Amino acid sequence: MSDDATDRSNSGPGNFVDDLVRDDLARGLGRTLMTRFPPEPNGYLHLGHAKSICLNFGLAQRHGGVCNLRFDDTNPTTEEVEFVESIQADVRWLGFGWFKGPYYASDYFEQLYAWAEQLVVEGRAYVDSQDLEAIRAGRGDFHRPGVESPFRDRTVEENLDLFRRMRAGEFADGAHVLRAKIDMQSRDLNLRDPLLYRIRHAAHHRTGTKWCIYPMYDWAHGQSDAIEGITHSICTLEFQNHRGLYEWCFDALHFDPRPKQIEFGRLNLSYTVLSKRRLQELVAGGHVAGWDDPRMPTLAGVRRRGFTPEALRAFCDRIGVSKRDGVADVSLLEHAVREDLNARCPRVMTVLRPLKVIVENLPEGETVHFDAPLHPEHPAMGTRTLSFSRELFIEQDDFMEDPPKKFFRLAPGREVRLRYACLLTCVGVDKDPSTGEITALRCTWDPQSKGGDAPDGRKVKSTLHWVSAAHAVDVEARLYDRLFKVENPMDVPEGGSWKDHLNPSSLTVLRAKAEAHVATAGEGARFQFERLGYFAVDPDSKPGALVFNRTIGLSDAWAKIVAAGKAG
């Protein structure tokens, strides 16, 4: 369970970005390889960000470079300190660290402003006083050329004066913007006099009310890359058509050397939405308990659910990096999680829906002890002692009074094995006389079958998990199903909402009975509950009142897909 920031095993060489970087290094960069991960602090990080983090930090690790964490904090109205803090915690948890920083685009506001004045002085930027609506309309589209603003030919003096007064706070939001003066006829829409600054009278989480104009993404991002000495600016495909503007700014400011932008396909996952804005909607709308709800695809959510950073890094390695956007099958992620948990989790027994069993031939007060391994393949994990006494619990659905043909578990007159303990036969059923509901099973055990097998070698078909009533601890078990009912939640019929696809039964809470071994488990501890799945201790736990999240069940859909030869 290492949270060690120096664990560098899983960062995924052999992708096309890695190849490009390798080529550049072979030709000689003349400076240290430097990448960056640039989140906007307007929400918690999600699984898509994990892909970008593994890629950017992974490249730096493999090639002796540096990866900066930089907050792209240019939008004061959506950004918060809570997000700045959670993002740092999440990157660290995933196993990555930064040497200096973190950096903030807001640290460069003064420099960005100075460069913008330089553009104004050189006649490469102007103050436009049209409203946003008019500016948008004037830009045209792929079929229509842009129309020049009536304010485009303001003199340098007038532009400089207006821009300085914008900064000084003389104008209301929306009264003016600063635009680059490029080419309204350009085939590249982003070069049709893009906005560089807008007025926004809003307090910023770091600069307070010092500024009332804020740089646009395109102006802040490239220049921030250049200031930090980033060599490779790796971003998702939607920024491909911003690359012309990214380069234009460097040309205008005569940067040399300059960063190189490389785009890759973002991660999408089936049955999942990966967008901070939508995740924010789920939180704000009360559809989940918070950003770290274990059903959320946020790093905070999956951590609370019990995923490990190792599993996420292995998943990111496996999905690879490509030049196309694709949808990864969520069962591939689940497979990576299971594979990791299978190796590391001690096994214990917990009964989720308890049915009482009375062992008639074991006197009250008598306890039999059995030793059981904590992991069948790792004897070094040791053993724990199971207590077997007159009253036990088994799962309600492991018993049927009138079983169909294929049901091999417990039924009247039938014998089963209790895991690590003995053979047990059902000899009777107690019922509530008024409701007819089964209240307990009457059973006998075979003392000759200690450990689970009879000396006469007779066969039993089923092995059940169980706990001793007197020794078990009461725990709360939270079982999760997928948050969305459909593979592509964004596929919405006319007039519908993606939120219509939310799964109304994504959470089930049970009062369960756990084997005494878990009683002292601390927050974050993980176990396999035999036959039921992997569980992790939730931070809601209190002494004597443990809460377990089911991280994932045991059945592995991806393994079946691979076995059937259907995976690529």
Q: With binding defined as CB under 6 A, does residue 51 bind ligand ATP? A: yes
Q: With binding defined as CB under 6 A, does residue 309 bind ligand ATP? A: no
By beta-carbon proximity to Mg ion, the closer residue of 217 and 255 is: 217
Least Å from the CB of residue 226 to Mg ion = 21
The Cα diameter of the chain in Å comes to 103
Where does this chain touch Mg ion (CB under 5 A) — which range of 39-47, 131-139, 256-264, 545-553? Answer: 39-47
Contact pick of 139, 276, 384, 471 for ligand ATP (by CB under 6 A): 276
Q: With binding defined as CB under 6 A, does residue 48 bind ligand ATP? A: yes
Which among 97, 507, 475, 559 is positioned nearest to 301, based on CA atoms?
507
What's the token pair of residue 315? 């998943």
Q: Which does 280 bind (CB under 5 to 8 A by kind): ligand ATP, Mg ion, none?
A: none
Q: Which does 481 bind (CB under 5 to 8 A by kind): ligand ATP, Mg ion, none?
A: none
Least Å from the CB of residue 225 to Mg ion = 16
The catalytic position among 192, 243, 258, 276 is 276
By beta-carbon proximity to ligand ATP, the closer residue of 49 and 501 is: 49
By beta-carbon proximity to Mg ion, the closer residue of 41 and 138 is: 41
Which residues 495-534 are close enough to bind ligand ATP by CB under 6 A? Answer: none
Could you tell me how far CA 345 lies from the centroid of its own chain?
21
Least Å from the CB of residue 528 to ligand ATP = 30
> Are 349 and 467 spatial neighbours (Cβ–Cβ below 8 Å)?
yes
Which residues 342-371 are close enough to bind ligand ATP by CB under 6 A? Answer: none
Where does this chain touch ligand ATP (CB under 6 A) — which range of 36-44, 198-206, 393-401, 436-444? Answer: 36-44
Q: Which does 453 bind (CB under 5 to 8 A by kind): Mg ion, ligand ATP, none?
A: none
- Three-state secondary-structure class, residue 324: coil
By beta-carbon proximity to ligand ATP, the closer residue of 11 and 541 is: 11
Contact string (CB under 6 A) for ligand ATP, positions 213-242, x = contact: ----------------------xx------
Contact string (CB under 6 A) for ligand ATP, positions 81-110, x = contact: ------------------------------
Spell out the residues 6+ positions from residue 562 whose beta carbon is closer than 8 angstroms to its own: none
Q: With binding defined as CB under 6 A, does residue 275 bind ligand ATP? A: yes
Where does this chain touch ligand ATP (CB under 6 A) — which range of 32-40, 351-359, 418-426, 482-490? Answer: 32-40
Half-sphere exposure of 556 (CA within 13 A, CB side): 17
> Are 456 and 446 spatial neighbours (Cβ–Cβ below 8 Å)?
no
Where does this chain touch ligand ATP (CB under 6 A) — which range of 15-23, 273-281, 396-404, 447-455? Answer: 273-281
Q: How many residues bind Mg ion (CB under 5 A)?
A: 1
Could you tell me how far CA 114 lies from the centroid of its own chain?
38
> Are 98 and 34 spatial neighbours (Cβ–Cβ below 8 Å)?
no
What is the C-alpha separation between 288 and 290, in angstroms, rounded? 6
Which among 114, 85, 109 is positioned nearest to 212, based on CA atoms?
109
Pairing relation of β-strands 507-514 and 526-529?
unpaired
What is the C-alpha separation between 433 and 411, in angstroms, rounded? 20
Could you tell me how far CA 176 lies from the centroid of its own chain?
40
499 is catalytic: no
Could you tell me how far CA 297 lies from the centroid of its own chain?
4
260 is catalytic: no
Spell out the residues 6+ positions from residue 434 whose beta carbon is closer than 8 angstroms to its own: none
Half-sphere exposure of 416 (CA within 13 A, CB side): 21
Q: With binding defined as CB under 6 A, does residue 489 bind ligand ATP? A: no
Q: Which does 235 bind (CB under 5 to 8 A by kind): Mg ion, ligand ATP, none?
A: ligand ATP
Q: Which does 39 bind (CB under 5 to 8 A by kind): Mg ion, ligand ATP, none?
A: ligand ATP
Least Å from the CB of residue 236 to ligand ATP = 4
- For tokens 């990096």, name the residue: 321
Least Å from the CB of residue 235 to ligand ATP = 5
Where does this chain touch ligand ATP (CB under 6 A) — which range of 8-16, 97-105, 269-277, 512-520? Answer: 269-277
By beta-carbon proximity to ligand ATP, the closer residue of 277 and 431 is: 277
Contact pick of 18, 34, 38, 421 for ligand ATP (by CB under 6 A): 38
- Crossing angle of helices 243-253 and 109-121, in 10° steps, is 80
> Are 299 and 357 spatial neighbours (Cβ–Cβ below 8 Å)?
no
Q: Closest residue (Cβ) to ligand ATP?
A: 48
- For tokens 């931070």, name the residue: 539
266 is catalytic: yes
The catalytic position among 51, 266, 305, 384 is 266
The catalytic position among 8, 22, 40, 391 is 40
Task: Kindly provide the residue ranges of all beta strands, DSSP E only, lying in 4-63, ordered along the sequence.
Answer: 34-37
127, β-bridge pairs: 178
What is the C-alpha separation between 252 and 276, in angstroms, rounded? 33
Task: Please provide residue 514's backbone torsions phi and psi, each rounded to the nearest 5 degrees.
Answer: -110, 150
What's the token pair of residue 378? 């790792």
Spell out the residues 6+ positions from residue 350 whose beta carbon is closer than 8 angstroms to its own: 465, 467, 475, 477, 512, 513, 514, 515, 518, 529, 532, 535, 548
Binding site for Mg ion (CB under 5 A): 40
Binding site for ligand ATP (CB under 6 A): 38-40, 48-49, 51-52, 72, 235-236, 266-267, 274-277
Which sequence positions are flagged as catalytic? 40, 266, 276
